[in-house]
Amino acid sequence: MNHEQSRALYDRALSVMPGGVNSSVRAVRPYPFFIENGDGGHVVDTDGNRYIDFVMGYGPLLLGHDLPESVQAAVQQYSTEGPMYGAPTEVEVELAEFVTRHVPSVEMVRFVNSGTEATVSAVRLARGYTGRDKIVVMQGGYHGAQESTLVEGEGNHTHPSSPGIPESFAEHTLTVPFNDPDAARELFEEHGEDIAAVLTEPILGNYGIVHPVDGYHETLRELCDDHGSLLIFDEVITGFRVGGLQCAQGKFGIDPDITTFGKIVGGGFPVGAIGGKSEIIEQFTPAGDVFQSGTFSGHPVTMAAGLETLRYAAENDVYDHVNGLGERLRAGLQEILEDQAPEYTVVGTDSMFKVVFTRDAPDTFDGHCEAGCQQRESCPRFESCPKNGHDITQAETERWERLFWPAMKDQGVFLTANQFESQFICDGHTDEDIDDALEAYKEAI
C-alpha cells in the first residue's frame, strides 16, 4: 500500500501539532494514515487506499459514514439557519425527552460537549450532592482526560497518571480492580462514609472489553446504597450501543444514580450528557448549586444529529443488523483463533468486539462464545477471558501494536491501534465486509 500523501501530511502536521495529531490515540506507528472520506462502513485515505472501518470514530458512528437523509436534512437545516444562539431550542428538549423515555434510570439530562466534560460534571455533581470528596474508579478504567480519574495505584494509594495533575487531586480518588467484589467491600468498610460515588463503565470498553462477572454490578449498587454513595455508570461508549436504546444499564437491569453519555447521542458531532434521577440532576445550576455551564452545550446541530440518529435507530432494524453482524464476526473469529491461535480470545457484545492477546491459553474449547456471555462461569473459556486489564500484558500489547495492527491495516482493515480499545460495527457494514474482515484476520493471525 502506498502512503506517500499520508507521510507528507504527517511531516507537515508534526511541525504544527504535537505528535502530529489532535488526540494522542491517533498517533499510530510509524505514522497515521490521513483520511480523505468515508462511506458506509469504509474509509478512504489520502492515497486512495480503502479500508473496512471498525474504528467508527472511536464509537460515535452507529449508522456509519453515510448518514441517512433525515440526519443530513436536520444537520443542514440547523447549520444554515444560524448554527447556534446561546438560548434554548426545541430540538434539545426533544433529544432530552427521547433519552429520558428510553434509558431506564434517566429522568433528567443535561447536554455538554464531550464525554470528558460529562464525567467531569458527573463527579462534581456527585460530590456536591453527597457533600463528600472521594470517588472510586476501576483500576485501568478510562473516563476521559479529566484530573480526578487519571490516576494509577491501588486502593487509597493512588497518584496522578500524568504530569500536570497535582498529587493532592489523586488523594480523593480510590481504585479497585474491576470484577473483584471483595476489594470493593473492603474499600467501603474503610472509607465508605467519605465516598461520594463509584464511577465505572458497565462493560470496560477501554480495557480490552471486560464484561462484569455475575453479581458484580449488584454488589456495587448495594455498597453504594448501604453507604449513601452514588453509582455512576459511564455509558459514553456503551450508551445507545450495548442494550440498544435502553443502553447497558437496561441490558444488565442495574439502576445507576447518574449516567454519563457521549459519542452516539450526538450522531457524529461533539457531545456529552449527564443524566439521572431528577433529585440529583436538579442540583446543577441554575436549579441547584453545583456549577455547570457551556457556550456550546446543547448545540442545535449536534442535538438534531443525535435526535435523528436515535430516531432512525428506533424506527429501523439498526440494532438487529449491527448486533447480528457482531455475533457472526465474533463466532468467525473464535473459529479462526481456535484453529490458529488458541492463546488469544475474542471478546465483545452487541456491536463491540475485539481479539485480545491474553496471558493464558485456554486448555480446551469446543464451542463458540455467545455474544456477551464470555465471562459466565459456565463458559469453557471463562478462565482465559480477561477479568480486568491486568490480564493483558505489556508484551502482548507490543505484539498487537507492532505486528497485528499493521498487518490488518495492510489488508485494508482499520482497527483501533491500541490493544485496550474496542472495535465497533456500524449499520453501514455488510455481510461481505464481515467475510472480508475474517479473511484478513485469518491472514494476520
Q: Give the binding range for ligand PLP (CB under 6 A) out of 199-207, 299-307, 344-352, 388-396.
A: 199-207
Among 6, 49, 105, 116, which residue sits at the site for ligand PLP (rule: CB under 6 A)?
A: 116
Kindly indicate which of the ranges 230-238, 335-343, 390-398, 426-434 contains the residues binding ligand PLP, using the contact rule CB under 6 A: 230-238
**Residues 6+ away with beta carbon under 8 Å from 353:** 54, 209, 326, 329, 330, 333, 346, 347, 422, 423, 425
Give yes or no for residue 58 binding ligand PLP (CB under 6 A). yes
**Closer residue to ligand PLP (CB): 6 or 416:** 416
Active-site pick, 263, 354, 387, 409: 263
Is residue 354 among the annotated active site residues? Answer: no
Nearest approach, Cβ of residue 4 and ligand PLP (Å) = 31
Shortest Cβ 349–ligand PLP spacing (Å): 15
Residue whose C-beta lies closest to ligand PLP: 115
Catalytic annotation, pick one of 51, 78, 129, 142: 142
Task: Name the residue with cell 470496560.
Answer: 204
Compute the least distance from the CB of residue 118 to ligand PLP, in Å.
7
Tell me, yes or no, if 142 is annotated catalytic: yes
Instruction: Give least dist CB 233 to ligand PLP, A.
Output: 10
- On the question of a cis peptide bond just before residue 286, with omega within 30 degrees of 0, the verdict is yes
* Candidate residues 20, 64, 144, 372; the one interacting with ligand PLP per rule CB under 6 A: 144
The backbone torsions φ and ψ at residue 413, rounded to the nearest 5 degrees and listed phi first, read: -125, 120
Q: How far is the CB of 392 from ligand PLP (least distance, A)?
A: 17
Exactly one of 42, 143, 217, 321 binds ligand PLP (CB under 6 A); which one? 143
**Dist. CA 140–CA 366, nearest whole Å:** 31
Residue 319 annotated among the catalytic residues of the structure: no
**Residue (201 or 391) nearer to ligand PLP, CB:** 201
Q: In this structure, are residues 146 and 236 in contact, taking their beta carbons and an 8 Å threshold?
A: no
Catalytic residue (one of 45, 180, 234, 427):
234
In the bound complex, what is the minimum distance in angstroms from residue 55's beta carbon to ligand PLP? 12
- Using the contact rule CB under 6 A, the part of the chain among 190-198, 201-209, 329-337, 354-362 near ligand PLP is 201-209
In the complex with ligand PLP, which residue's Cβ is closer, 206 or 249? Answer: 206
Measured at the CA of 37, the angle between CA 31 and CA 40, to 5 degrees, comes to: 115
* Number of amino acids touching ligand PLP (CB under 6 A): 15
CB of 299 to ligand PLP, least distance (A): 14
Q: Binding marks (x or -) toward ligand PLP, 76..115, rule CB under 6 A? A: --------------------------------------xx
Using the minimum distance from each CB to ligand PLP, give the nearer residue, 58 or 441: 58
Q: Peptide bond before 30: cis, by omega within 30 degrees of 0?
A: yes
CA distance 117 to 140: 19
Residue pointed to by grid coordinates 479473511: 439
Polymer length in residues for the chain = 445
Among 119, 139, 173, 349, binds ligand PLP (CB under 6 A): 119
Q: Judged by CB, which is closer to ligand PLP: 349, or 411?
A: 349
Least distance (Å) from ligand PLP to the CB of residue 271?
8
Q: Does the footprint of ligand PLP cover residue 234 (CB under 6 A)?
A: yes
Contact with ligand PLP (CB under 6 A) among 53, 180, 201, 327: 201
User: Is residue 268 involved in binding ligand PLP (CB under 6 A)?
Assistant: no
Q: Closer to ligand PLP by CB, 237 or 444: give it.
A: 237
- Taking the least distance from each CB to ligand PLP, the nearer of 220 and 444 is 220
Task: Give catalytic residue positions.
Answer: 142, 234, 263
In the complex, the residues that contact ligand PLP under the rule CB under 6 A are: 58, 114-116, 119, 142-144, 201, 205-206, 234, 236-237, 262
